[in-house]
């Protein structure tokens, strides 16, 4: 069967190993693609006879690296055979960080709890992105979003996901992020420095407020039996305010 030209993005599932034939190197690529309702995942065996790729896979690459492999996919002649991607070129899209293996038990427990929280967050984000939009991008231009743990090594690959979205969906997602950022900023004003002109405008605005007039207007619009409670509330907000009997009838 003829080989199929293919470019594939995925995470290195385990360390590369010398292939069955001399001069070859084999590795497994963990790939995922988002659809409307689920995330489809597959592990694709890869091999190469290219010396530069073989050297890089054996000496430089580590599990968790996000790779783009371009080559030809061969399909098995028998039903129980194995498909294999023969790599002609290799591009590193993202490098997994190295982990420090010299940690004590307490640090390990803390890291485990942190990993669990992080993985739950990744799962929630993956679910949201999987359901984002009403249809798969289909043919044409698309944008790929990759999410993964920063310390993905081997066993963490089940938390790696890739999603293809249309440019229109990307614009919508950017709008949502902008809106969320504005909301968070409004909740956390600490550290925000206003320019002097804005401070002057705000000061002038509040200086022009007539608290006595405002108080009288509010109390005059309040039923008599409710005035004591309203007076106490306004006193808490603005300080001493005129008593109900001091307002205009």
Mean pLDDT of 187-192: 53
Report whether CATH 3.40.50.300 matches the domain 4-186.
no
* CB-based burial, 44-67: b 16+ in 10 Å, e otherwise: bebbbebeebbebbeeebbbbbbb
Residue 112 has pLDDT above 80, yes or no: no
How far apart CA 153 and CA 104 sit, in angstroms, is 19
Helices and strands in the chain: count of H runs, count of E runs: 6, 8
How far apart CA 38 and CA 180 sit, in angstroms, is 26
In 3D space, the residue among 9, 141, 167 whose CA is nearest the CA of residue 85 turns out to be 9
How confident is the model over 40-58, as pLDDT tens digits? 578 899 999 999 999 999 9
Between 126-130, 158-162, 187-191, 214-218, the lowest mean confidence (pLDDT) is in 187-191
pLDDT for 105: 53
Q: What is the DSSP string of 58-84?
A: HHT--TT-EEEEEEEEE--SSTT---E
Residue 79 has pLDDT above 60, yes or no: yes
How confident is the model over 166-177, as pLDDT tens digits? 888 888 888 777
Mean pLDDT of 84-93: 93
In the chain, domain spans: 4-186, 196-246
CB count in 10 Å sphere of residue 179: 10
Mean pLDDT of 71-86: 85
How far apart CA 108 and CA 65 sit, in angstroms, is 23
pLDDT for 177: 78
What proportion of the chain, given as a percentage, has pLDDT over 90? 19
Residue 194 has pLDDT above 70, yes or no: no
């Amino acid at each position: 069967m003829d080989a199929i030209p293919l470019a594939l993005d995925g995470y290195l599932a385990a360390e590369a190993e010398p292939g069955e034939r001399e001069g070859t190197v084999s590795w497994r690529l963990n790939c995922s693609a988002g659809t409307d309702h689920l995330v489809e995942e597959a592990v694709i065996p890869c091999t190469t006879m290219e010396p530069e790729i073989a050297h890089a896979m054996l000496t430089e690459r580590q599990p968790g690296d996000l790779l783009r492999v371009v080559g030809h996919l061969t399909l098995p002649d028998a039903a129980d055979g194995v498909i294999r991607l023969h790599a002609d070129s290799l591009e590193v899209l993202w490098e997994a960080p190295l982990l420090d293996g010299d940690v004590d038990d307490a640090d390990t427990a803390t890291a485990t709890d942190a990993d669990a929280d992080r993985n739950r967050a990744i799962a929630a984000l993956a679910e949201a992105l999987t359901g984002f939009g009403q249809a798969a991008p289909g043919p044409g231009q698309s944008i790929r979003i990759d999410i993964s743990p920063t310390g993905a090594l081997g066993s963490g690959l089940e938390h790696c996901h890739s999603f293809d979205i249309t440019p229109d969906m990307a614009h919508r997602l950017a709008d949502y992020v902008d809106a969320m950022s504005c909301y968070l900023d409004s909740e956390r004003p600490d550290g925000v420095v206003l320019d002097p002109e804005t401070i002057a405008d705000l000061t002038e605005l509040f200086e022009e407020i007539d608290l006595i007039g405002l108080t009288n207007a509010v109390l005059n619009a309040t039923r008599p039996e409710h005035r004591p409670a309203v007076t106490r509330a306004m006193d808490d907000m603005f300080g001493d305010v005129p008593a109900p009997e001091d307002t205009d009838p």
